[in-house]
């Protein structure tokens, strides 16, 4: 962490990265509104179109063309207002052309501060860019801004985006289970809900908030941290159906067998090196139907869970805004290669503080669900997990509804482009 008190002026560049969330635009609002309060230093706020991908092609957006009302509306609009991407920068030794290109774009547009809003891979990108810029003597501060529904960033109480997906998972599990219970005597006996979570079972655990007693749904949760045992799982489902009359199963997309193989591995991977998963939910549902002869329905929450702004957590929406605000303040204080992290001060009510933490200690570190949060039988959450999770989904984050259409009034920005100053499109 480097702190330099020099009161330099210039432009600030913000970009969104990775899978978006119901509240990532609240962070964007926090960045832009805070920057607008410091016009004597931050002359303009630019946004990278489609994250780092747009920056490398000098595809920049001038946010000064948006009204204060429009920026305020970002607080309740899901998705990524400026576009996101899944682009991973390799080490400069093997990918230096893109690093040079990044610095060229920043220099051409007088960018002195870069804020990258994303998860673990984005923290890695921001850390690498900060180190490279420093090595080149560039006058540039790089700040990471946290976001991920997976809740797997280290050194923070929770990640903005998680509280809302956690609320969605718990509410959806509760509502769907009431449906299954209503039909179980003559129809569906087992309902399977697949949620996100490639390596960490935070979202699956959050679904466990739907019930407090062993017989209440979800009666079975399948975590990535617990090796899947088909025979034991089927015995558990059979037992629950015999006792309760029906069973709800929540399965994380990243569930693996004893050999470490994903149940739903498609044999493909993305640019980050993540294996593409084809749906653990259908695999589990087919197994139950085939082996137990029970009628099964399944659902894959997929994009629905991470875009559900209508059921966002008030705590999550607030913290998402505040980390954007903090990132700008850190930048103006001359900090470099840091990220605002959340420190919990109390759970009920939820109180917290934001502190800068070195990106180097966050990038590449994946926080999994602690053993103490998983019930001894491996199929549910413990009281400790409940104490951690419940405060994060408390409260609603209101949004405006159109009285004629009955739909939420979500915002689409103008996203006016900045004129290019370089003589080529990419690195």
Indicate the angle between helix axes 230-244 and 280-292, nearest 10 degrees: 70
256 token code pair: 């693996």
Q: What is the dihedral of CA 173, 179, 183, 185, to 10 degrees?
A: 50
78 token code pair: 């899901």
Contact yes or no for 51/14 (Cβ under 8 A): no
CB count, 10 Å around CB of 225? 21
Q: What is the 3-state secondary structure (H, E, C) of 105-125?
A: HHHHCCEEEEEEEECHHHHHH
Contacts 24+ apart (CB under 8 A), 298-303: 298/191, 298/192, 298/193, 298/194, 299/176, 299/191, 299/192, 299/193, 299/194, 300/194, 301/168, 301/169, 301/172, 301/193, 301/194, 301/195, 301/196, 302/194, 302/196
Contact yes or no for 150/253 (Cβ under 8 A): no
Could you give the strand order of the β-sheet that contains 111-118, starting from the edge strand earlier in sequence? 60-62, 42-48, 10-16, 111-118, 141-146, 338-346, 351-358
**Which letter does DSSP use for residue 58 in this model?**
T
Locate the DSSP E strands across 312-418. 338-346, 351-358
Residues catalogued as catalytic: 150
Distance of CA 311 to the CA centre of its chain: 16
CB count, 10 Å around CB of 411? 18
- Rounded Cα–Cα distance for residues 79 and 181 (Å): 33
**Which letter does DSSP use for residue 309 in this model?**
G
- Rounded Cα–Cα distance for residues 14 and 32 (Å): 9
Torsion sign, CA atoms 107, 109, 114, 117? negative
Task: Determine phi and psi for 149, rounding to 5 degrees.
Answer: -70, -20
């Amino acid at each position: 962490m480097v702190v330099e008190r020099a009161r330099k002026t210039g432009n600030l560049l913000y970009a969104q990265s990775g899978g978006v969330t119901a509240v990532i635009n609240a962070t964007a609002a926090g960045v832009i509104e805070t920057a607008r309060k410091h016009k004597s230093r931050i002359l303009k706020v630019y946004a990278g179109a489609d994250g780092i991908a747009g920056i490398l092609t000098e595809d920049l957006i001038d946010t000064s063309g948006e009204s204060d009302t429009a920026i305020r509306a970002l607080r309740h609009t899901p998705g990524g207002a400026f576009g996101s991407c899944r682009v991973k920068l390799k080490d400069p030794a093997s990918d230096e052309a893109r690093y040079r290109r990044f610095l060229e774009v920043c220099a051409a547009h007088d960018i002195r501060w870069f804020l990258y809003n994303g998860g673990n891979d984005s923290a890695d990108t921001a850390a690498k860019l900060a180190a490279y810029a420093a090595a080149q003597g560039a006058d540039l501060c790089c700040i990471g801004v946290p976001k991920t529904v997976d809740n797997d960033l280290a050194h923070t109480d929770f990640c903005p985006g998680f509280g809302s997906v956690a609320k969605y998972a718990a509410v959806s599990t509760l509502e769907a289970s009431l449906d299954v219970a209503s039909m179980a005597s003559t129809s569906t006996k087992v309902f399977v809900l697949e949620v996100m979570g490639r390596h960490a079972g935070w979202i699956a655990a959050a679904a466990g908030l739907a019930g407090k007693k062993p017989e209440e749904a979800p009666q079975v949760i399948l975590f990535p941290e617990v090796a899947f045992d088909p025979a034991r799982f089927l015995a558990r489902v059979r037992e629950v159906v015999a006792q309760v009359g029906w069973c709800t199963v929540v399965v994380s997309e990243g569930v693996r067998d004893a050999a470490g193989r994903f149940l739903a591995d498609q044999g493909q991977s993305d640019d980050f090196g993540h294996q593409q998963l084809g749906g653990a939910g259908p695999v589990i549902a087919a197994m139950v139907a085939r082996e137990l002869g029970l009628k099964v329905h399944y659902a894959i929450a997929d994009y629905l869970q991470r875009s559900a702004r209508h059921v966002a957590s008030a705590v999550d929406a607030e913290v998402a805004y505040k980390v954007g605000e903090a990132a700008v303040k850190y930048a103006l204080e001359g900090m470099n290669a840091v990220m605002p992290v959340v420190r919990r001060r109390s759970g009920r009510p939820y109180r917290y503080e934001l502190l800068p933490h070195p990106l180097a200690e966050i990038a590449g570190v994946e926080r999994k669900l602690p053993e103490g949060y998983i019930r001894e039988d491996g199929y549910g959450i413990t009281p400790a997990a409940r104490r951690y999770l419940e405060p994060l989904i408390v409260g609603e984050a209101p949004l405006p509804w159109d009285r004629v259409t009955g739909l939420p009034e979500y915002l689409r920005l103008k996203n006016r482009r900045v004129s290019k100053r370089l003589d080529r499109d990419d690195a």
